[in-house]
Structure 1
Amino acid sequence: MKSTLIKHGFLAGTLLGLPLVSHAYDLPTVNLGMTSFLDGGLPAGPGWYAQTYFQNYDSNKLVDSNGQKLGLPKTDLNYQVLVEQISYLSNVRVKDKASLGMNFLIPFVSKMDMDDGLNNVAIKAQSGFGDIMIGPFIQFDPIMGAQGPKFVHRFEFQVNLPTGEYDRQKDINPSNNAVSFDPYWAATYWFNPKWTASTRIHYLYNFKNDDPSYAFAGANDMQAGQAIHANFATDYAITEQFRLGLNGYWLKQITDTEVDGEKVKGRREQVWAIGPGAMYSFSKNDHLVANAYFEQDAENRPEGTRLQVRYVHHF
């Protein structure tokens, strides 16, 4: 069984770009580059927020555990994802130092083009709705300095629910068909009123998929390994409304995928990316963010370019 799984089970998994967004062979969709500048706090205080993300991903390089391109005539991948996020920051206080809130996200893969050079005999893909992500969070009040805020941070207990499109006969699905727990800590530090640095650090734990891909021949379940992933960014305010900076992300799987309780070696994923970004604030309630990411040193996943536009509105 195990040798069969290693031989035939290489490409089973999900593939979706979110920041909330990546494309994994085993790992579910996660936030890779979805958030960047001033991530430690919501921009306009308590109330309702709507955030819309559009992301385009291009790759011609699906790689193995050694970072080498898969042995197919082509490995050309392009997909586009639209994500809608609703956030609520309440007036419920915690020891007069923080407020409680809730996030809800739903992604939609509007385009999924995969060309393996074999009329998609080797790699089959589909578009559709991805998995809902929901999480309560604790937003701490900013620590103030003489010239304004110095530090602000937040904890969120995010859960990904298997509500999206999934077909075990497909190699690439919008849904991972398994629950995952992906809590994070986000923070922003002000070096001075114009210059900031932000990060968001996640720990990912995946539960079992009880209807694994056909590639895991005869298997009853598959459990993707645990991972750590993070976004990072720094920006400088050119004007009161316009910021320029650098943004990036990093992902590393830290435990092996298991199939029917057996560890499968050689499937751990990793990647990192960096690129330029910009943010324009129309007002304290409306913000537009654009990011580009150029991936490096991928293993067991695609390596390509990610472009994203994000709009934030506070009601």
Structure 2
Amino acid sequence: MRTLSRFGLLAAASLASTLAQAYDLPGLNLGSTSFYDGAPAPDGPGWYLAEYLIYGKTSRFNDQNGRKLPLPKQDLTTFAPVTQLIYLGQPLANGAMPGFTAILPWLAHADVDDGLGGQALSAREGVGDLTLGAFLQLPTTTRPDGGPRWAQRIEAEIVAPTGRYDRDRAINPGSNFWSFNPYYATTYWLTPQWSVTGRFWYLWNGKNDQPLRSFGAVSDTQAGQALHANFATQYALNDRLSIGLSGYWLRQITDTQVDGHDVSGRREKVWAWGPGFTYAFSRQNLVTVNSYFEQDAENRTEGRKFVVNFLHRL
């Protein structure tokens, strides 16, 4: 088997929502992909199955100034498996490899303790929104010794409102609106063992014609546009094990609209960091583990997240 420093471990084209929707923006891939994210699949063209197990725990629901909302308690625990099917095609004449992906999250468990019997922060469990994406894995440039230097991928994604949604619940696995969430991912090897990775998204959201009751008597809402990114730096200790630090960042860049009018004071932001590792049992079976600690959240939750990802070649 070739070393982890020479070949990337994830070809995951994207990852849909893993956290329940509690504010305006839909659930997003915040830290679910990390190490070697821009690199091609470890065993070449073919079918891959990725399973993500995401555990989240928060004790803060923050307002626009980053202060805790005035609830007696603010404990929310979620567990969300996410299944992703990936196909990486044969190289084109220029060496680039096309592919597509389908991603389906599931909010399997949502335990709310708001000190009010869940009346303020009622949650609904169930299947989330389906993401469909088409990507192009660009040719990887190499060093003089034949090892990789720079890997890149671009993808266009559409998130369909197929998930369960209840306008009477504050937290839902589905958003009830369409989203467009394209991205660019890259991994750059500084040395044969040490590399850095980033994935950078733009998010556009459609209208929700059945907005949450908390908005009052309105006809529709439209979450604002946002930018978000995942970052990582990884070091290959040997042929199988890499360790490193990873993080994510989110900032909403336009206001949410209610009945076509901008509503100020609802823009969301957060960032997080934490340690992780990836281990290759073989080129066909890999596991990646990440832990995150969120910071400086505004208009959204702030807490901890733990992600385990299994990648298997079919």
Normalising by structure 1, we get a TM-score of 0.92
Q: Counterpart of 2:215?
A: 216
Counterparts of 1:271-282 in structure 2, within 5 Å, are: 271-282=270-281
- Asked whether the equivalents of residues 19 and 34 of structure 1 are also in contact (C-alpha less than 8 Å), the reply is no
- Asked whether the equivalents of residues 21 and 33 of structure 1 are also in contact (C-alpha less than 8 Å), the reply is no
Counterparts of 1:1-315 in structure 2, within 5 Å, are: 20-22=17-19, 23-41=21-39, 42-91=41-90, 93=92, 95-147=93-145, 148-315=147-314
CA RMSD after TM alignment: 1.2
Query: Post-superposition shift, 1:255?
Result: 0.3
CA shift digits 1:238-288 (9 cap, x unpaired): 111000100000000000000000111100000000000000011111110
Query: Post-superposition shift, 1:36?
Result: 0.3
Q: 1:118 to 1:20 in 2, by over 3 A?
A: closer
Query: Post-superposition shift, 1:97?
Result: 3.1
Q: Distance in 2 between matches of 1:271 and 1:301?
A: 8
Q: Distance in 1 between matches of 2:124 and 2:182?
A: 28
Please tell me the residue identity of whatever aligns with 1:167. D
Runs of 4+ that moved beyond 4 A:
none
Q: Distance in 2 between matches of 1:20 and 1:39?
A: 18
Please tell me the residue identity of whatever aligns with 2:68. K
Question: Can you give the 5+ residue segments of structure 2 that lack an aligned partner in the other structure?
Answer: 1-14
Please tell me the residue identity of whatever aligns with 1:309. V
Q: Which is worse superposed, 269-278 or 95-104? A: 95-104
Q: Distance in 1 between matches of 2:17 and 2:51?
A: 12
Query: Post-superposition shift, 1:91?
Result: 1.6
Please tell me the residue identity of whatever aligns with 2:23. Y
For 1:297, what is the secondary structure of its paired residue? strand
- Asked whether the equivalents of residues 20 and 34 of structure 1 are also in contact (C-alpha less than 8 Å), the reply is no
Q: Distance in 2 between matches of 1:44 and 1:181?
A: 29
Q: Distance in 1 between matches of 2:313 and 2:148?
A: 20
Q: Distance in 2 between matches of 1:313 and 1:197?
A: 23
- Asked whether the equivalents of residues 288 and 312 of structure 1 are also in contact (C-alpha less than 8 Å), the reply is yes
CA shift digits 1:133-184 (9 cap, x unpaired): 1100011111011230000100010111000100011111000000000000
Question: Can you give the 5+ residue segments of structure 1 that lack an aligned partner in the other structure?
Answer: 1-17
Normalising by structure 2, we get a TM-score of 0.92
- Asked whether the equivalents of residues 19 and 35 of structure 1 are also in contact (C-alpha less than 8 Å), the reply is no
Q: Distance in 2 between matches of 1:116 and 1:26?
A: 20
- Asked whether the equivalents of residues 17 and 128 of structure 2 are also in contact (C-alpha less than 8 Å), the reply is no
Q: Counterpart of 1:11?
A: none
> How many aligned residue pairs are there?
297
